[in-house]
Amino acid sequence: QQQVKQSPQSLIVQKGGISIINCAYENTAFDYFPWYQQFPGKGPALLIAIRPDVSEKKEGRFTISFNKSAKQFSLHIMDSQPGDSATYFCAARIYGQNFVFGPGTRLSVLP
C-alpha cells in the first residue's frame, strides 16, 4: 500500500503550546520519513526527517517520534509560534522509488 495517512486536517494552537501532527503508513518497505513545511504562496521545504532505525529525532523545537511497530510517526512542535503557521506534509519513500506525500495539515498558531 503506497499511501500515507495524515491527521488532523487542520489544527489551531495557542502561542507557546505544543502542536502534534500524526501520520500512518502500511508499507513496511518505507525507509525514510520526512516532514515538509509549506508557507502560503511558497513551495514545500524539508523541515526534518527520520529513518526507521531511530525512535526520535529532535531539531530545535521540532521533534519526530517514530513508532515502527505501530507504523506511525508524528511531528511535535514545542513552544509553537505564530511564525510556525503553515501547512505541514508528512511523506515516505522506499529506497529507489519516489516519495509519497500525506494530504497535509494546516496549522494556525494564535498569538
Partner 1 sequence: NAGVTQTPKFRVLKTGQSMTLLCAQDMNHEYMYWYRQDPGMGLRLIHYSVGEGTTAKGEVPDGYNVSRLKKQNFLLGLESAAPSQTSVYFCASSYGRNTDTQYFGPGTRLTVL
Q: Give the interface with partner 1 as residue ranges (CB under 8 A).
A: 6, 9, 32, 34, 41-46, 49, 89, 95-99, 101-104
Contact 65, 56 (CB under 8 A): yes
Strand partners, 70: none
Residue closer to partner 1 by CB (options 19, 34) is 34
CA 61 remoteness from chain centre: 13
- Closest distance of CB 44 from partner 1, Å: 5
Q: Measured from the CB atom, is 95 or 111 closer to partner 1?
A: 95
- Nearest distance from residue 89's CB to partner 1, in Å? 6
What letters, b where the CB count within 10 A reaches 16 and e where it falls short, cover 16-28? eeebbbbbbbeee
DSSP labels, 48-74: EEE-TT-SEEEETTEEEEEETTTTEEE
Query: Is the Cβ of residue 1 or residue 9 nearer to partner 1 in the bound state?
Result: 9
Report the residue number, 17 or 49, with the smaller CB distance to partner 1.
49
- Nearest approach in angstroms of CB 39 to partner 1 is 10
